């Protein structure tokens, strides 16, 4: 029998703790019977006040602070949070409350509601240098022009009520033409993609496609109460707040693609990062994730805050690889990644896993070895592992349950060892996080069992 030294026993404790923590994460994804998760969250930053809209860049996230939803609009600053330290690196007074933020190149554009004005009163668009926080070009407007998007070299601003689109000069924010009249009711969402501007006419239950060159409008009756809208994966996506769903449209035929996707009680704004569409729920404190290719939700909703009916929809902004979502109730902004660490990974193909660690001739199902692993091929990962070994009474077959805890998730393998022939086929029993739903089989080769450290190589194929 091979005996474990003190270092090996410590390794057992360490890896067991890792496995226990992984298990506690699984348990933490369920509260009061509700299936939710915190997987994919890579940062949560406190905000000195209630956050509203956010805008994100490679070095910082700008946050517009809001007052109490039941109080009149006050004078609330913008804060710049450093992505390395999480600290407030700058504060900018905009003489009102910013109700929308967006990043255009090295410029932050804020739509500001002046102190004492109503929800549908005048707005002031303010251009701010992204890094220094210096205000560049304030511009007054008569109506509530909120959302701003860039289409080529032009900026477009959307007025909430009555619904109008206004072309802006990107340098001065001055109007560059007459407004395009869209709707008598509220128009809440604005996006650009597939060569068109897209607007949600919420009160009319319509999605509008606008040709930015001619101003021609195509109206698509969709019903419900459409709010946020984006273009991704070759389709137009919008949130129907009335139905608690996200709907896809073909941008050319203007017909629905597939069935509406249930995402929660009160979906609002949308953002795309990687191949995922993220949809916050106003009251639930969660954000749903949808694969833009299949149109299917990915995993359970992600918990960003406790449920709370605050009457303020979370804002969500993308940097391309992740999204930042605000929570008025918890006074935080949370980053959720779209990388393999938080999404289905491991395409079908060959994989090699190299293990180095301790080994013991255990027969009763207890810990037989621990150590480290690296995976290459269809899976690329590294981390720790722990083996549990059982041997039948006739000592003809040994079964090893190998719990491999990597950076992207946990994979449990079953290795069935024929003690007479020496064959060691393995199969994947289960996986978590990026490896949820993973399948695989192959063979293990023991390079060095008798000495310390022992080395093992598992080769085979994986798929979903």
271-273 and 261-262 as β-strands: parallel, antiparallel, unpaired?
unpaired
Joined tokens for residue 246? 């996200």
Q: Quote the tokens at residue 301.
A: 């909703």
| pLDDT band at residue 68 using 50, 70 and 90 as cut-offs | low
- The domain locations on the chain are 32-342, 345-463
Inform me whether the pLDDT recorded for 144 exceeds 80.
Answer: yes
For residue range 415-463, list pLDDT tens digits in order: 999 999 989 999 999 888 788 778 899 999 876 555 568 888 999 998 8
Q: What's the confidence (pLDDT) of residue 20?
A: 30
3-state helix, strand, coil in the chain (%, to 5): 5, 55, 40
* pLDDT tens per residue, range 98-140: 999 999 999 999 999 887 665 666 789 999 999 899 999 888 8
Residues 189-197, mean pLDDT to the nearest whole number: 97
- What number is the average pLDDT over the span 69-97? 81
Give yes or no for residue 237 having a pLDDT over 90: yes
Tell me, what DSSP letter sits at residue 344?
-
Which pLDDT does position 441 carry in this prediction? 93
Quote the pLDDT of residue 83. 80
Higher pLDDT: 291 or 346? It is 291
pLDDT (average), residues 298-312: 89
pLDDT at 451: 59
Per the prediction, the chain carries an average pLDDT of: 85
Among 56-60, 110-114, 329-333, 443-447, the minimum mean pLDDT is found in: 443-447
Q: Which whole number is the average pLDDT over 21-28?
A: 34
Instruction: Identify the pLDDT of residue 74.
Output: 61
Q: What pLDDT, on a 0 to 100 scale, did the predictor assign at position 19? A: 31
What percent of the chain shows pLDDT beyond 70?
86
Comparing 331 with 309, which gets the higher pLDDT? 331
Q: What integer pLDDT is reported at residue 167 of this predicted model?
A: 95
Tell whether the model's pLDDT for residue 67 goes beyond 90: no
Task: Please say whether the dihedral angle defined by the alpha carbons of residues 367, 368, 370 and 376, taken in this order, is positive or negative.
Answer: negative
Between CA 127 and CA 137 the distance in angstroms is: 5
Question: Residue 163: pLDDT above 50?
Answer: yes
pLDDT in tens, 263-280: 988 999 999 998 899 999
Residue 218 φ/ψ region, left for φ over 0, alpha for ψ in the -120 to 50 degree band, beta for the rest: beta
> Is domain 32-342 classified as CATH 2.170.150.20?
no
Question: Using 50, 70 and 90 to split pLDDT, how confident is the model at 323?
Answer: very high
Residue whose entry in the numeric block shows the structure tokens 């909120």:
146
Residue 75's pLDDT is 76
Q: What is the pLDDT of residues 380-413, one digit of tens each?
A: 888 999 999 999 999 999 999 999 998 888 899 9
- Short-list 137, 166, 164, 163, CA closest to 151: 166
Rounded to two decimals, the pTM is 0.68
Sign of CA dihedral 160, 163, 169, 170: positive
Mean pLDDT, residues 48-74 taken together: 82
Rounded CA-CA distance 97/72 in Å is: 10
| Residues 345-463, CATH architecture | Beta Barrel (2.40)
- Torsion region of 49: left, alpha or beta (phi above 0 gives left; psi -120 to 50 gives alpha): left
Under DSSP, is residue 302 helix (H, G, I), strand (E, B) or coil?
A: strand
Amino acid 339: pLDDT: 56
- Residue 34 has a pLDDT of 58
Q: Which residues pair with 325 in a beta bridge?
A: 316, 334
Q: Is 13's pLDDT higher than 50?
A: no
Q: Is the pLDDT confidence value at 222 over 60?
A: yes
With a pLDDT cut of 90, the percent of the chain lying above it is 60
pLDDT in tens, 337-362: 875 334 444 456 889 999 999 888 89
195 CB-near residues (< 8 Å, 6+ apart)? none
Query: Across-strand partners of 301?
Result: none
Closest CA relative to residue 342, chosen from 269, 420, 436: 436
What was the pLDDT predicted at 330? 92
């Amino acid at each position: 029998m091979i005996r474990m030294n003190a270092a090996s026993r410590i390794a057992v404790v360490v890896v067991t703790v890792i496995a226990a923590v992984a298990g506690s994460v699984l348990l933490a994804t369920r509260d009061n019977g509700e299936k939710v998760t915190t997987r994919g969250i890579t940062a949560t930053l406190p905000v000195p006040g209630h956050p509203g809209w956010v805008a994100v860049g490679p070095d910082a996230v700008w946050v517009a602070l809001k007052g109490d939803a039941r109080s009149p609009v006050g004078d609330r600053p913008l804060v710049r949070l450093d992505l390395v330290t999480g600290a407030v690196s700058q504060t900018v007074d905009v003489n009102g409350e910013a109700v929308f933020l967006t990043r255009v190149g090295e410029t932050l554009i804020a739509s500001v509601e002046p102190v004492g004005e109503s929800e549908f009163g005048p707005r002031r668009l303010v251009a701010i240098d992204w890094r220094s926080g210096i205000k560049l070009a304030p511009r007054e407007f008569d109506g509530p022009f909120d959302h701003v998007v860039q289409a080529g070299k032009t900026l477009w601003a959307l007025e909430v009520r009555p619904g109008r689109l206004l072309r802006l000069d990107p340098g001065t924010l001055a109007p560059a033409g007459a407004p395009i009249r869209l709707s008598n009711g509220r128009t809440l969402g604005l996006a650009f993609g597939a060569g068109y501007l897209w607007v949600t006419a919420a009160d009319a239950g319509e999605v509008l496609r606008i040709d930015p060159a001619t101003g021609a409008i195509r109206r698509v009756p969709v019903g419900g109460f459409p709010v946020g809208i984006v273009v991704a994966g070759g389709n137009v996506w919008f949130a129907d707040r009335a139905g608690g769903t996200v709907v896809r449209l073909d941008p050319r035929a203007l017909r629905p693609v597939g069935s509406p996707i249930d995402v929660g009680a009160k979906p609002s704004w949308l953002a795309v990062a990687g191949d995922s569409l993220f949809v916050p729920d106003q009251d639930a404190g969660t954000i749903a994730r949808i694969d833009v290719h299949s149109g299917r939700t990915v995993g359970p909703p992600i918990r960003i805050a406790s449920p709370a009916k605050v009457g303020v929809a979370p804002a969500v902004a993308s940097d391309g690889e992740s999204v930042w979502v605000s929570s008025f109730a918890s006074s935080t902004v949370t980053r959720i990644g779209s990388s393999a660490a938080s999404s289905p990974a491991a395409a079908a193909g060959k994989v090699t896993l190299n293990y180095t660690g301790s080994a013991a001739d255990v027969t009763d199902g207890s810990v037989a070895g621990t150590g480290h692993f690296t995976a290459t091929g269809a899976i690329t990962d590294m981390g720790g592992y722990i083996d549990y070994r059982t041997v039948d009474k006739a000592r003809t077959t040994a079964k090893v349950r190998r719990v491999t805890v990597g950076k992207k998730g946990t994979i449990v393998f079953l290795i069935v060892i024929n003690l007479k022939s020496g064959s060691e086929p393995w199969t994947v029993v289960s996986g978590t996080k990026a490896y949820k739903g993973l399948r695989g089989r192959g063979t293990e080769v023991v390079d060095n069992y008798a000495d310390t450290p022992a080395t093992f190589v598992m080769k085979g194929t994986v798929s979903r």
